[in-house]
């Protein structure tokens, strides 16, 4: 920043867009700018910002993406194993299989909250996340050893507890590195990796099926052995790659570290490096924020719709193709979803909007839920299955972006809120697993998902009304009205930075 330029003028010029690469510089943030950066010209700051983001993208995004692919492959391979005979080998009923699917979330959900509170105090979060990856890979591989239904339930519950570290931890980790104009596309990258895992998980499963009987080992057992072992090895490699937080990252120079911290602090007033608030105080602030309840409910309704991922091979299997063809047909919908996810978040970041995109996804999903209930036409049903992965899961990307920007500070509050929304909202996956019966129409499942989509639309509209009301209070300049907003979760420092709830 040219030191001769007036800070207020800088704000007026730089605040015209939230596009990536443009820095929203307020006078308060300008005064906080580190000395190593303050004497740089505008062009030099833009070049430094571009270099920093590229370096962070190079180290963080591929690593996190690969780990999330493994996360989803290891979580969803039981659905593929169903098509390879695990139900017959373990003498399971349809209801017992549903319990085996849902029990993973019994371990997964409660451990997210303490894990995300812990990660704010760990100096090497990348090592922590990768350590959990190696552990769940071992547990997943051990699934090949189960001989009874009870043993399968035990392994799945433990697997869920180990996997609880990853997703909320990864979302929090990304929000510690990226600004509001950058975060959406990076979350999209995470979900694209999820869809790659879903798509290629089916392809890998189809290939591994060919090993059925080799060395007297069933195909579904090979599935867990190969994919679990790969997860362990890749997790250990990624542990050597993932950087720490911006303030102590070894991949950055001293100037880049200071600039990386300032980028985050300039938007919401504090970063991981400067904040000392206890995790329990942050947890309490998250629970006392009225917006959190609405976001939890929104995510619960969104996760209800997203439960189709747990049974997607079963839904495609209802089209009456062979096992191998059914697994192959699961890939195109997830590939399309990955492309749409990036388009959604690119538009969201560019236009700084979320609410209308959520409503569009909900509207598409509702229509797609009706088609399989109304017809047995294979083309029509597969068309709905092509659309459902992005329409039903897409709003979750936008919700996580909302959580990390609307519940930003203190950082321990952001970590707790992210975990609470994902953990409590994710309970929908437990009971939703029992809806997928009555092939080929699946009336209970699609009827419930359609109801959840409609209720989601009303709830997110109520949330929009709430945050717009808070913005009006902030705009009023009335100390009494502003005090109400502070009580609702905005810090005094955010008020001094002229912070507002955006995207709605």
pLDDT for 472: 93
The mean predicted confidence, pLDDT, of the chain is: 82
Chain mean position to CA 351: 21
**Partner residues linked to 354 by β-bridges:** none
Q: Over 50: is that where the pLDDT of 27 sits?
A: no
Residue 373 sits at the vertex; the CA angle it makes with 385 and 79, to the nearest 5 degrees, is 45
Percent share of the chain, pLDDT over 70:
89
**31 vs 200: which has the higher pLDDT:** 200
CA dist., res. 238 & res. 60, Å (int): 10
Residues 128 and 65 sit within 8 Å (Cβ to Cβ)? no
Place 13 in a pLDDT band, splitting at 50, 70 and 90.
very low
**418 vs 70: which has the higher pLDDT:** 70
CA dist., res. 438 & res. 429, Å (int): 19
- Positive or negative, the CA dihedral 290, 291, 297, 303 is negative
Place 397 in a pLDDT band, splitting at 50, 70 and 90.
confident
In the chain, what are the domains?
7-38 (no CATH), 42-496 (1.20.1250.20)
Q: Over 50: is that where the pLDDT of 373 sits?
A: yes
CA dist., res. 420 & res. 285, Å (int): 12
The token duo for 8 is 């207020």
Torsion, Cα 447 451 452 454, to 10 degrees, reads 140
pLDDT digits (tens, 9 = 90+) for 171-210: 888 888 888 778 888 888 887 777 777 667 667 777 887 8
Of 272-276, 302-306, 309-313, 489-493, least confident by mean pLDDT is: 272-276
pLDDT for 377: 92
Place 268 in a pLDDT band, splitting at 50, 70 and 90.
low
pLDDT digits (tens, 9 = 90+) for 296-352: 999 999 989 988 877 777 788 888 887 778 777 888 888 888 889 889 988 998 888
Of 20-34, 109-123, 133-147, 204-218, least confident by mean pLDDT is: 20-34
Strands (E), 299-363: none
pLDDT for 30: 52
Q: Over 80: is that where the pLDDT of 138 sits?
A: yes
Q: Over 80: is that where the pLDDT of 2 sits?
A: no
CA dist., res. 299 & res. 373, Å (int): 25
> 3-class SS at 383?
helix
pLDDT digits (tens, 9 = 90+) for 228-265: 999 999 999 998 888 888 888 888 888 888 888 888 77
C-alpha distances (whole Å) from 115 to each of 110, 169, 416 are 9, 8, 9
Torsion, Cα 133 134 139 142, to 10 degrees, reads 140
Place 14 in a pLDDT band, splitting at 50, 70 and 90.
very low
Place 269 in a pLDDT band, splitting at 50, 70 and 90.
low
């Amino acid at each position: 920043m040219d030191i001769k330029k007036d800070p207020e003028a800088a704000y007026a010029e730089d605040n015209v867009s939230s596009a990536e690469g443009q820095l929203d510089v307020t006078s308060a943030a300008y005064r906080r700018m580190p000395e190593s950066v303050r004497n740089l010209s505008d062009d030099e700051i833009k070049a430094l910002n571009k270099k920093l983001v590229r370096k962070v993208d190079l180290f963080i995004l591929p690593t996190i993406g690969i780990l999330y692919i493994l996360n989803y492959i290891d979580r969803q391979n039981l659905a593929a194993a169903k098509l390879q005979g695990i139900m017959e080998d373990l003498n399971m009923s349809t209801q017992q299989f549903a319990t085996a699917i849902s029990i993973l979330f019994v371990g997964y959900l409660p451990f997210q909250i303490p894990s995300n509170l812990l990660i704010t105090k760990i100096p090497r979060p990348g090592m922590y996340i990768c350590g959990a990856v190696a552990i769940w890979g071992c547990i997943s591989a051990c699934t090949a050893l189960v001989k009874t239904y009870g043993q399968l339930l035990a392994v799945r519950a433990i697997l869920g507890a180990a996997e609880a570290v990853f997703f909320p931890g990864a979302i929090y980790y990304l929000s510690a590195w990226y600004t509001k104009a950058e975060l959406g596309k990076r979350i999209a990258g995470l979900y694209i990796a999820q869809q790659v895992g879903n798509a290629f998980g089916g392809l890998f499963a189809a290939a591994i099926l060919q090993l059925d009987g080799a060395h007297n080992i069933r195909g579904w057992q090979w599935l867990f052995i190969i994919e679990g072992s790969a997860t362990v090895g890749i997790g250990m490699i990624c542990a050597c790659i993932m950087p720490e937080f911006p303030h102590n990252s070894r991949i950055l120079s001293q100037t880049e570290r200071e600039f990386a911290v300032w980028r985050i602090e300039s938007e919401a007033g504090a970063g991981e490096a400067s904040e000392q608030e206890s995790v329990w105080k942050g947890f309490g602030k998250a629970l006392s924020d009225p917006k959190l309840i609405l976001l939890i409910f929104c995510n619960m309704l969104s996760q209800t719709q997203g439960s189709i991922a747990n049974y997607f091979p079963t839904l495609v299997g209802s089209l009456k193709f062979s096992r191998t063809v059914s697994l192959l047909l699961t890939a195109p919908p997830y590939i399309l979803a990955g492309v749409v996810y990036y388009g959604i978040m690119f538009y969201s970041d560019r236009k700084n909007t979320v609410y209308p995109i959520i409503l569009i996804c909900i509207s598409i999903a509702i229509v797609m839920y009706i088609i399989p209930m109304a017809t047995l036409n294979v083309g029509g049903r597969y068309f709905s299955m092509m659309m459902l992965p992005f329409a039903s899961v897409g709003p979750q990307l936008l919700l996580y972006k909302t959580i990390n920007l609307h519940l930003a500070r203190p950082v321990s509050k952001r970590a707790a809120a992210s975990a609470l929304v994902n953990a409590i909202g994710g309970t929908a996956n437990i009971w939703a697993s029992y809806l997928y019966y009555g092939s080929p129409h699946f009336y209970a499942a699609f009827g419930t998902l359609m109801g959840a989509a409609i209720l989601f639309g009303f709830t997110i509209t109520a949330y929009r009304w709430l945050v717009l009301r808070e913005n009006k209070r902030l705009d009023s300049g009335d100390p009494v009205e502003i005090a109400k907003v502070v009580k609702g979760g905005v810090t005094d420092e955010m008020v001094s930075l002229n912070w507002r709830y955006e995207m709605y």
